[in-house]
Amino acid sequence: MIHSSLSQLGAALRAKKISSVELTQTYLDRIAQLNPTLNAFITVNPEMSLAQARAADARLAAGSAAALTGIPIAQKDIFCAKGWLTTCGSKMLHNFVSPYDAHVISQFNNAGAINLGKTNMDEFAMGSSNETSHYGAVKNPWDTARVPGGSSGGTAAAVAARLCAAATGTDTGGSIRQPAALCGISGLKPTYGVCSRYGMIAFASSLDQAGPMGRSAEDLALMMNVMAGFDERDSTSLQREKEDYTRDLNKPLTGLRIGLPKEFFAEGMGSDVAKAVEAALAEYKKLGAVIVDISLPNSKLSVPVYYVLAPAEASSNLSRFDGVRYGYRAPEYSDLADMYEKSRAQGFGAEVKRRIMIGTYVLSHGYYDAYYLQAQKIRRLIAQDFTEAFTQCDVIMGPTSPSTAFKLGEKGDDPVQMYLSDIYTIAVNLAGLPGMSIPCGFGANDMPVGLQIIGNYFDEARMLNVAHQFQQATDWHSRAPKI
């Protein structure tokens, strides 16, 4: 059962071969057994999950079930869920039981899906290894001495280890795609504005986007049908017609033009990663695709641009954590300013403080033009590169991450080295484009390699088609770690 796809689980539930309570309990038992090793979940609440499962069983019995009714889905701990502890991986929110639901959470609730628990993550989604979580690092189920990637590392590890049927993530600079790659699962960051940010704890508001993480492109398409859609409570939510993201899954790929940016295949990519990506491209040629050489000349600037813009937005967003209305307050202080400074100093971890300081500095008097404005201008150049590239190709492909999963602690002392692990994913966020990662083989130490697929704006259905056809021809996505 734990290896079944979402559509198989849905069919089994509707045919009464299994109840949602039984299925939910199966996953809860697996979490109880394996989470002490993996640390993929911060919170499980069997009572609340099983209450939802009983309601789903009633809905199934009444014949009013939707595609995901009764299916246990884990939620990244960045999404506020009513009655659930919602920490965002931070001590700052160690006691925050959310009084309301994020839009994404209500969408899953309305669909009758079960909230199986809240997954571990880098603190406030700032990290690429899950080591910045206040609740301890997540372990990669393929090798527990290695990181799962980040920031949606708990979700990636939980999906890979079959601790849930599928789960949610968020992606500001690669936080869905990079952990998906490092854990050998599939993940999709939609076009900016497609999934509502309401109730999703903000990191960098012009880049943050929620998306599905699962074991196949088909599962991601079913998740997208629930997650996507207009929400007036998010001022950047896009008003568009509702889409069926499964509609193009079975289209043939004959004539598909795949753009390969020469900058992604230059120095920096591990030879093991290159080998797996090239084998995937050969498979695509067999499926009828043609390869087009393209260039994204400004993409090399995406890391420096990102490390100005994202911290600037973060320093503003995280100013709300002041120890007054919610979250952590220092036990001792002399006056109001001292209370702010001590609550924030004690409540935030090192990486979060670092980014708040970068952001505060680049926005401060006298530096705005040199940093923030310059970064916004280069952001446009990066986005224009993609616009130009998509006149020559339908999708862009390359590696998701320059290497496979690294060892816990390996990059701990050097923030810059950690930042460079997102070198292939960040440009996509800056441009606001959809991007995904699917498993395409194994590299050094038998760790999974991810293939990145970048689409044009609102081209998620085509990207899912491109990924699904690959997954019909190969079995990388169905490999599971032995744990």
Of the ranges 12-20, 283-291, 430-438, 474-482, which one interacts with another protein (CB under 8 A)? 430-438
d(CA 228, CA 99) in angstroms, rounded, equals: 23
Residue 200 is encoded by which pair of tokens? Answer: 């999703």
The count of residues interacting with another protein (CB under 8 A) is 70
Do residues 152 and 119 make contact, with C-beta atoms less than 8 angstroms apart?
Answer: yes
Of the ranges 51-59, 93-101, 251-259, 260-268, which one interacts with another protein (CB under 8 A)? 93-101
Map tokens 């527990």 to a residue. Answer: 144
Shortest Cβ 330–another protein spacing (Å)? 9
Counting contacts by CB under 8 A, is residue 96 touching another protein?
yes
Comparing CA positions, the residue from 126, 35, 124, 145 lying closest to residue 404 is 145
Q: Please, which of residues 342-401 interact with another protein by CB under 8 A?
A: 342, 344-345, 348, 353-354, 356-358, 360-361, 364, 370-371, 373-381, 383
Do residues 179 and 187 make contact, with C-beta atoms less than 8 angstroms apart?
Answer: yes
Q: Please, which of residues 296-325 interact with another protein by CB under 8 A?
A: 298, 301, 303-305, 307-308, 315, 319, 322-325
d(CA 199, CA 379) in angstroms, rounded, equals: 27
Q: Tell which one of 3, 36, 235, 241 touches another protein (CB under 8 A).
A: 235
Shortest Cβ 80–another protein spacing (Å)? 11
Shortest Cβ 200–another protein spacing (Å)? 17
Residue 409 CB: number of other CB atoms within 10 A? Answer: 12
Is residue 316 annotated as a catalytic residue, yes or no?
Answer: no
Counting contacts by CB under 8 A, is residue 445 touching another protein?
no
Counting contacts by CB under 8 A, is residue 326 touching another protein?
yes
Counting contacts by CB under 8 A, is residue 177 touching another protein?
no
Cβ neighbours of residue 166 under 8 Å, at least 6 residues apart?
6, 71, 73, 74, 159, 212, 213, 214, 215, 219, 220, 223
How distant, in Å, are the alpha carbons of 12, 98, 269, 409 from that of 276? Answer: 35, 43, 11, 26
Is residue 175 annotated as a catalytic residue, yes or no?
Answer: yes
Q: What is the DSSP string of 345-356?
A: HHHS-HHHHHHH
Shortest Cβ 173–another protein spacing (Å)? 14
Is residue 76 annotated as a catalytic residue, yes or no?
Answer: yes
Do residues 120 and 135 make contact, with C-beta atoms less than 8 angstroms apart?
Answer: yes
Residues that bind another protein (CB under 8 A): 95-97, 99-100, 192-193, 206, 232, 235-236, 238, 298, 301, 303-305, 307-308, 315, 319, 322-329, 333-342, 344-345, 348, 353-354, 356-358, 360-361, 364, 370-371, 373-381, 383, 414-416, 419, 430-433
